[in-house]
Structures are given as structure tokens and as C-alpha cells.
Amino acid sequence: MLNTIFHLAKKDLLLFVADKRAIALTFLLPVAMITIFYFAFGGSPQDGNNPVVALIMSDLDSTEASQRFIGELDSLKGLRLDQATSEAGSRNAVAEGKRAAALIIHPGFGDSLALGSSLPLEVLYDSGRPMEFGIISQLLYAAVGNFAGESQGKARAKKQMMETFGMDEVTVEGLMAQMSGSGGDAQPAPPFSVREVVGERDNDFSLIQAVAGTAVMLLLFSVAGMGSGLLMEREAGTLKKLLYAPISPISILGGKFASTLLLSVAQLVLMFVFAALAFGLDLSRNLPALGLMIVATAAVCASLGMLLASVSRTRKQLDGFSTILILTMSAIGGSMMPVVFMPVLFQKLAVGTVNHWSIQGFYDIYWRNLPISAVLDNAGVLFGLAALMMAISAYFFKRNLVRLL
């Protein structure tokens, strides 16, 4: 018995060692995932990979004081500052989901700073991105306090001493200089007004995130399993019979893609219907846009399943390819964690994932209340990726699968 177990174990090990791709995936997968999550959460404090949030702003004051304040903001670590040419540009950037928040410096900023009055600063934000806005708020409060706290405190004290006690300006400044030397300055952090750009919404943000993010990730795993049907059919001899029929390899691949596409659409529809029935997701918001995004998402996921099956020679390879690729895309693309907590490099890489374009499209429909025209770009990218992956799949299908029959 022990001798049998030994020989069976030896046979399995020899087969495993002979499959170099399976070896690489088995040992590289844990290393790759550890590396991805390490850098996705910011890396080490010394490597400069700190999370960065973007703030768009409009300077309507255009004074020397406002420019100095902008320079103060621009020097903050963790904040990327983009400037819009108008208030409407900043507002639209937030309303369309391009930025989590916008800062408006209204006219009179320089005068208010000199007089010690409230600063005409307004922050517009998207409540659907609370984590990003929370980081931005903390950075802004600190920046405003450091920049304006001391000057406003002195301006208020100077004005009060001159009006209440009738002191001249030279005397007041002399007294304030002495107070400054003894550490008696008050440095209040002036508040700024905060206002949400988009009004009350019917759908809950957490629900939209859960449905969109989870649906795409689970669908990717599902289609990978569906794609493995090509390998199973080859192992069972079904593909050989189909080719002897004769049926072209492209027809076989196309038929498998069609069935996977239909199942993917059905799976996505089921997920959204369940969210509507169980949690109250308002599906009637924009049905044409929802249908377009579901078909586009299903198409790109189905094509990815065909690609994975076509480039893999064994089901073990397919499992390895699909696991590392899907988990990587889900981590970077926003299914697992907010993109804002990733380094700038990973935020740029996110646009190359299926998850990113699909999730953002569903956000535009159910959170930002945008029309179908707003999701055409997202759907176009997904359909383009689907076409590209199917073209690559056709090449590898004929080369790796059919040739091995």
C-alpha cells in the first residue's frame, strides 16, 4: 500500500514538474499577490508611495494672497491640485465623478485675509466618495489653519485694540510683536463652507458599490470556469469530433463565446434584480444605460474567459491564470478597495482593468444620475477590449488547442 502511494505521488510530482507554466503560477501567484496588496496599500513610508487624492479648484480672487494659498496647497503631501478655469468647470468635475471635491476661492479672499474676517472659501463634494472627501477635508483644514490662522488672529486683535482702546496702529503693532515673542498668539483655523454638488439621491452608495464591484468580480470568476469548458471538451474528444464534422475552429470558439455571453448577461441581470428586490435598488433610473452596461460588461468578461481558455494548455494553467489575473484586476480596478488608497501609479493602471470601466459606468447611472450618453465611453472601451481579446483568442485557440488534438 505504501509502495502504491509512493508511486502515485511520484507520478503526480513528475507531471507537475513537467508543466513549467503550472510551476511558475503556483509559486509566483502568492508572491505577486503579496506585492500587489503591499503597494496597493501605499508601500513602505520611505518609498514615496503614499496615497494621493486629487482636488480641483477655481481661483476667482486672483490676488497675490490667493496665489500664495494655492502654493501652500500644492506643497501638501498626499494632495494633487488641479486648477479649473471657472467655477462651473470645478462643479462639473465633481458632478460627473471626475473629482471627489472642488475648492472655490471666491472674490474677496485677499481682503478677508487682511481684515481678519471669514474667508470666502467653498468646498463642493460628492457624498458618494466619503473616504476621499475625508482625506481632502483634513488636508484643507490644516492648510487653511496654517496659512490664515496667524494672520487672521493678528488682524482681529489689531482691529479690536484700535477700536476699543483708541490705540494708533504703531502702538498696536508694537504690543502685538511683544505678544508674538511670548507665544501669546491665537491661531484659529478659519472654517470654510461645504456643500454637496448633487442633491438627494434615491439609491444608497454602499449598495451601488456592493452590486457593481461584486458583480464584475464574480462574473470574471464565472466566465473563467465557463471558458474551461473548451479544455474539458478537448480532453473528452468533443473538439476532435467537431473538427471532423467538419466545423471551423472559429465557429467553435464563436459558439462558446455566444453561450458564455448569454449566461453572463443572465447572471448580471439576476444580480441587479436581486439587489432591487432585496435592498431596494432603483433599477428604473435609466434602463437603456443599464442594459448597455450589462451587455458591455458581459461581452468583455466572456471574451476574457475565451482568452484564458485559449492561452492555457491545461485546466491547472487556466486556474492559475484566471486567479492571478482576476484578483489583480479586482484589487486595482476598485472591486476590492477604493482606488484612492493606491499609489498614483496604481491609480493610472486601474484604467486598464475591466473592473474600472464597468464599475464607473454603473456609478454614472445610479449615483451620479447621468444620461446614457455619459456611459458611452465606458461601454465603448469595454466593447473594444472584448473585440481585441476575441481576436487574440482566435489566434491562440487554433494554435494551442486545435493543434494538440
In a domain, 26, yes or no: no
List, for residues 217-232, the tens digit of each pLDDT value: 888 888 887 777 777 7
**The last residue of a domain, from among 172, 196, 220:** 196
Tally the domains of the chain: 2
- Residue bearing the bigger pLDDT, 382 or 405: 382
**The last residue of a domain, from among 176, 196, 216:** 196
Instruction: Identify whether residues 257 and 373 lie together within a single domain.
Output: yes
- Signed CA dihedral, 108, 110, 113, 119: sign only: positive
Instruction: Identify whether residues 363 and 326 lie together within a single domain.
Output: yes
Instruction: Identify whether residues 290 and 324 lie together within a single domain.
Output: yes
Instruction: Identify whether residues 80 and 221 lie together within a single domain.
Output: no
To the nearest whole percent, how much of the chain has pLDDT over 70? 66
- Signed CA dihedral, 159, 163, 169, 174: sign only: negative
Instruction: Identify whether residues 248 and 140 lie together within a single domain.
Output: no
In a domain, 30, yes or no: no
Instruction: Identify whether residues 176 and 291 lie together within a single domain.
Output: no
Supply the range of the domain harboring residue 384.
203-404
pLDDT of residue 296: 96
In a domain, 370, yes or no: yes
Residue 168 Cα distances to 152, 155, 158, 164, 329, angstroms: 19, 14, 10, 11, 67
In a domain, 140, yes or no: yes
Instruction: Identify whether residues 230 and 361 lie together within a single domain.
Output: yes
Instruction: Identify whether residues 145 and 267 lie together within a single domain.
Output: no
**The last residue of a domain, from among 155, 175, 196:** 196
Instruction: Identify whether residues 117 and 233 lie together within a single domain.
Output: no
- How confident is residue 186, by pLDDT bands cut at 50, 70 and 90? very low
Task: Flag whether pLDDT at 74 surpasses 80.
Answer: yes
8 Å CB contact between 104 and 76? no
Instruction: Identify whether residues 143 and 246 lie together within a single domain.
Output: no
Q: CA-to-CA distance for 342 and 330, rounded, in angstroms? A: 13
In a domain, 219, yes or no: yes
170, 172, 178, 180 alpha-carbon torsion, rounded to 10°: -110
List, for residues 78-123, the tens digit of each pLDDT value: 788 888 888 888 888 888 888 888 999 999 888 887 776 778 888 8
- Residue bearing the bigger pLDDT, 38 or 283: 283
